[in-house]
Amino acid sequence: MILDTVLGNLREAIFSLKIKEEEKLSLWNILSHYNRSVSASIPLKRDNITYILKGFRIQHNNLLGPYKGGFRIHHSTNFEEVFGLSILMTLKCALIDIPFGGAKGGIQAIFKDLSEDEKDKIVREYVRNLYCEIGEYIDIYAPDINTNPKLMASFLDEYSKLKNKMSYGVVTGKPQELKGIKYREYATGYGVGYITEKAVSKFFKKKDLKIAIQGFGNVGQYTFKKLNELGYKVISVSDSKGGILCKNGIDFKKLKSIKKEKGSVIYYQEIDKNCLILSNKEFISLNVDIMILAAINDIIKKENVETVKANLIVEGANSPITKEADEILSEKKKIIIPDILANSGGVLISYYEWLSNIKGVEYSETELDKALKEKINSTFDLINEISKKEKISLRKAAFSKALNKLFEKAKGKGII
């Protein structure tokens, strides 16, 4: 479904651009296809039986620079999902004006069933299958769902062995001792926090707002942390097992500890009896001012969109709202901060990590935080201005800005 949503939004945005009809069709033909698709069979031996996992990489478009995109391990990973996400990455890089193209990859596997050794082995096998299509100036990988600095280190190590040289710039989100940037770990969540603050300053007259965060993985946790630092109170958080609602607010450190110890946020109720445990269905219908979607795609859809009460929805995850649901929410005047802006902090700081690896430039956390906040805020101002001027949603405005950048580049290269 994610591919249908992305292509639907892409088509609508392209054919709304103020360019010639034949140019619109040309741009659609370019961006609705990918430059290259690579797949692999990943062997996994268990109990003397060899099983085959599916691996994918879509290199969508490199008009602006080398392909760049996350690498995930998840049971839902498939060709269509990866294709849709690769398009979003192309648009994201264009929107925030960094010299990368879009890509996405992953392995289809039930992550929780894998041992640490098996995770390392399948990542290395993936690299051995695809390494000719990987490179610091070709295709740069980054962590995504169920991948982390440790697995990125395995990725780098295997690639460097195959190339017979250390190639630090081939992957971002690495451990610090391998020339990674620590700030990259929290950049996506911090960016979501900053864009939420920016939206509040534009669309709300008060700061004492009820905020819910769907998802408490890397993005959700650091979004929560940043919002706390900015003075906001989060009253509800959910994960795959359900949610917790605490009208007086949730203590971030205690929730993080409970999640780590017991595996779900729902056990927070054991330390605060005034909190309620929610089903994921109940969570979506919460009466809150702001809902931050920071887990997986297709969370709000036709079946549950009518229950959504939040006035501001921030897409910390990629494509968490289907196109049909998005149109219904827009008709209801709900404000949606689109994923290609809201969660762009990760790729922005990945760019700085890549620059550091390639050119040897070092950046302090203060410099990176300032750069992230400024980029998030200035890009929001630009798309908000387009939104008001054209009387279109923030999503359509963000797509419009990104597509105009890609169109000019394609035209300059003689492709259009």
| Active site residue ranges | 104
CA angle 400, 406, 408 (to 5 degrees): 100
- Which pair of structure tokens corresponds to residue 135? 């490179």
What is d(CA 327, CA 209) in angstroms, rounded to the nearest whole number? 25
**Cα-to-chain-centroid distance, residue 283:** 21
